[in-house]
Amino acid sequence: MKITVITAVYNSASTIRAALDSTLSQRYDNVELIVVDGASTDGTREIIESYGSRIHQFVSEPDNGIYDALNKGVRMATGDVVGFLHSDDLFADEHCLTRVAQAMAEPSINGCYGDLNYVRKESTDTVIRAWRAGEFSAAKLKRGWMPPHPTLYVRRSVMSGVGEFNTSYRIAADYDWMLRLLGRYGDLSYVPNVQVLMRLGGASNRSVKNIVRKSREDFRALRQNDFGFAGAAYALVGKNLSKLPQFLKR
């Protein structure tokens, strides 16, 4: 089974090397690494190019934001299973993709996901929030449950059925995409391990303005995925409240 890992990057010279090394140090030996750079100007491109053929596909050109870059990466992917590692994130250990392969060995499973730790930007050993996803159910979905997107790996054939990220969303296209996925292909396997370390400071929580925009886009995504006004409001409240216990599980 070939696993494709897609990393989208723009001006991340301080973190891109750690992200690439994290993928390249995985013990699983059939990994395709695709890097999509949005024409960085801070030395990111030169760092990526220094890896040579260890990066299987690389493109550097202007794009329309991270979701446009991820769509490009998916179109380039040749793996049986596809997932993402953002340029400022890390795999939790060197066995993460082995766990993905083990979960996806069951042919009836459309995808798998695990747990995620939010860590300090400058000290990835310091956990700020611990996201323990748990098993998927339709009832949880109605209460705003979602798997951590950076831990999610999906069969490429299923991705084709779900469609691309909707780039009219600037922050919540991954949420909209997962709502489409879970609405049509809900057979996902839970990997009960921390799979990804996410540095705090991403677009969705960088400022109060972005937090408000994220909530508005989440609500729009819920409405567009047939939750109705009341259902969308209920799910959005549940989604936000579910983050509070994550600060207590460290």
Predicted confidence (pLDDT) per residue in 37-92, tens digit: 999 999 999 999 999 999 999 999 999 999 999 999 999 999 999 999 999 999 99
Assign 83 to helix, strand or coil: strand
Predicted confidence (pLDDT) per residue in 160-210, tens digit: 999 999 999 999 999 999 999 999 998 999 999 999 999 997 655 555 678
Q: Containing H/E element for 69?
A: helix 66-76
CA 192 remoteness from chain centre = 17
Q: Please give the C-alpha separations between residue 55 and each of 23, 39, 100, 119, in angstroms, as whole numbers.
A: 10, 17, 20, 26
Judged against a pLDDT cut of 60, whether residue 156 lies above it is answered with yes
The whole-model pTM stands at 0.93
Measure the N-to-C terminal CA separation of the chain; round to a whole number of Å: 34
**93's tokens:** 């250990």
**CATH number of domain containing 129:** 3.90.550.10
CA 72 remoteness from chain centre = 15
| Domain enclosing residue 15, as ranges | 3-247
Domain count within the chain:
1
Predicted confidence (pLDDT) per residue in 102-133, tens digit: 999 999 999 999 999 999 998 899 999 999 99
